[in-house]
Chain A
Amino acid sequence: AQSVSQHNHHVILSEAASLELGCNYSYGGTVNLFWYVQYPGQHLQLLLKYFSGDPLVKGIKGFEAEFIKSKFSFNLRKPSVQWSDTAEYFCAVTEGTGFQKLVFGTGTRLLVSP
């Protein structure tokens, strides 16, 4: 079965530090990849997505992610974090050409100190 691994469960950074959150998935076929974010007290919301094409995907709020097929990875990056980036970040995958169900990782809690 499809699975998603997020190795960093908690990350603490100071403002202006660079961020990279790891995400690896297990499926060897065609995948669609997502990062969702949940700010404190808010709903899950889509941060960015990858279907095909340029493996470097840019999302909202200065986030980007790179799909590396050979490493089964889709890491999230931001060059300079802000206090407002404090949130929980979830990597998710859907298999093949369908988008029926998202398979989520366990999430990474990011705390950015001012």
Chain B
Amino acid sequence: DTGVSQDPRHKITKRGQNVTFRCDPISEHNRLYWYRQTLGQGPEFLTYFQNEAQLEKSRLLSDRFSAERPKGSFSTLEIQRTEQGDSAMYLCASSLEFRAYEQYFGPGTRLTVT
């Protein structure tokens, strides 16, 4: 499968713990996006990278959230000191820079904070 992959698919954690998610984009895509989707809502933009540079961050991305894309390939999203309000589906998408309107989404990581 050459689509966007995310790992893990499900994560259950206790409040206060740190969690890290991984996204592997389509190999030739230099743009990578993170979105968050809560129940009954559409995806909300969190941040995006062009190659290894993080070019935009949403105000939704509090100080407890950090995203990296160190080599311009896979990306990680870390949430520190998780809170129950962090429970959501975290979606990753990728695109080519010059076809950024065609974002390909991964299956998501569902986070449950207990």
A positions within 8 Å CB-CB of B: 4, 9, 32, 34, 36, 43-46, 49, 51, 90, 92, 94, 98-107
Partner-contacting stretch, out of B14-22, B79-87, B100-108: B100-108
Determine the distance from Cα of A57 to Cα of B4 in the docked complex, in whole angstroms. 27
7 chain-A/chain-B pairs, Cβ below 8 angstroms: A9-B40, A34-B101, A44-B93, A46-B103, A49-B102, A51-B101, A104-B44
Check B105–A44 contact: CB distance below 8 A. yes
Determine the distance from Cα of A22 to Cα of B105 in the docked complex, in whole angstroms. 23
Determine the distance from Cα of A36 to Cα of B35 in the docked complex, in whole angstroms. 14
Chain B stretch 1-60: residues in CB contact (< 8 A) with chain A: 3-4, 33, 35, 40-45, 48, 55-56, 58
B positions within 8 Å CB-CB of A: 3-4, 33, 35, 40-45, 48, 55-56, 58, 91, 93, 95, 100-108
Contact partner, A104, options B43, B55, B100, Cβ 8 Å = B43
Q: A32-B101, A43-B105, A43-B106 are in contact. Are A101 and B42 (CB under 8 A)?
A: no
Contacts of A51 in B (CB 8 A): 101
Contacts of B104 in A (CB 8 A): 43, 45
Determine the distance from Cα of A106 to Cα of B39 in the docked complex, in whole angstroms. 9
Check B105–A92 contact: CB distance below 8 A. no
Determine the distance from Cα of A107 to Cα of B39 in the docked complex, in whole angstroms. 11
Check A101–B105 contact: CB distance below 8 A. no
Check B41–A102 contact: CB distance below 8 A. no
B45: min CB distance to chain A, Å: 4
Check B102–A44 contact: CB distance below 8 A. no
Contacts of A34 in B (CB 8 A): 101
Q: A45-B105, A99-B101 are in contact. Are A90 and B56 (CB under 8 A)?
A: no
Check A100–B55 contact: CB distance below 8 A. yes
